[in-house]
Copies of this chain bind each other. A is one copy, B any other.
Amino acid sequence: MTGAIPMETSTARPAARPMRADARRNHDRLVGEARRSFAEHGTDASLEDIARRAGVGIGTLYRHFPNRDALMNAVFQDALCSLLTRSRELAAAEAPCRALVEWLGAIVTHAGEYRGLAHALMSASRDATSPLTQCHQPLREAGAGLLRRAQESGSVRDDVSIDDLLQLTNAIALAAEQSPDDPELTDRLLRLTLRGLK
């Protein structure tokens, strides 16, 4: 019955029609080249360079990705997917506290994967409309579940929120990024934070 409500059809997103062959190819080349450039120069790599190296006009880049966040998003989507899978595995694990700790470690590692990503994540968290924030939303919810479980089991304080934890993990990733000569900084800061969770 409810499934037959007419509004459904207007609310449902239009079927994503397949891209024209050349558009599809350009799209993929851009994402690939952006991944290379981000890895090499950080996430503030020149967009013009990326377009040129992908053998495409700068306008084409903007047609596919209206802003830098959208491009970053496309680049990080793979990593995001596997993180989400891992999150769901952890949600089913026995020890709630250990699961949360592992999840936080994975988040820090992710944020530190590309130079500039941690900073972008922190800035993006301000507005909910940013594609970067949108795509991290499911991950945030998975983390919220892990945190709640750990709190209910009594192993983590009640007065911390998932947003506090995410801000802190991003901050730790950023700090580590600024001190590349100290590879254990991340671990030390994370351990410090975890102790504070009680």
Residues of A within 8 A of B (CB): 119, 122-123, 125-126, 159-160, 163-164, 167-168, 170-172, 174-175, 178-180, 185, 188-189, 191-198
A123, A125, A164, A194: most-surrounded residue (chain B CB, <10 A): A164
| Shortest Cβ gap from A174 to chain B (Å) | 6
Cβ contacts under 8 Å, A192 to chain B = 160, 164, 168, 193, 196-197
Interface secondary structure of A, over-half rule: helix
Cβ contacts under 8 Å, A168 to chain B = 171-172, 175, 189, 192
Q: Can you add 19 more A-B contacts, CB < 8 Å, to A122-B178, A164-B192, A167-B185?
A: A119-B119, A122-B175, A125-B178, A125-B179, A126-B178, A126-B179, A160-B192, A163-B179, A164-B189, A168-B175, A168-B192, A171-B174, A171-B175, A171-B189, A193-B193, A194-B196, A195-B195, A195-B196, A195-B198
What are 23 A-B contacts with C-beta separation under 8 Å?
A122-B174, A122-B178, A123-B178, A126-B178, A126-B180, A160-B192, A164-B185, A164-B188, A167-B175, A167-B189, A168-B171, A168-B175, A168-B192, A171-B171, A171-B172, A171-B189, A191-B196, A192-B193, A193-B196, A194-B196, A195-B195, A195-B196, A196-B196
Cβ contacts under 8 Å, A194 to chain B = 196
Give the CA-CA distance A79 to B143 in the complex, in Å. Answer: 39
| Shortest Cβ gap from A198 to chain B (Å) | 7
Cβ contacts under 8 Å, A197 to chain B = 192
In the complex, the count of this chain's copies comes to 2
Residue of B nearest to A122 (CB): B178
| Shortest Cβ gap from A77 to chain B (Å) | 23
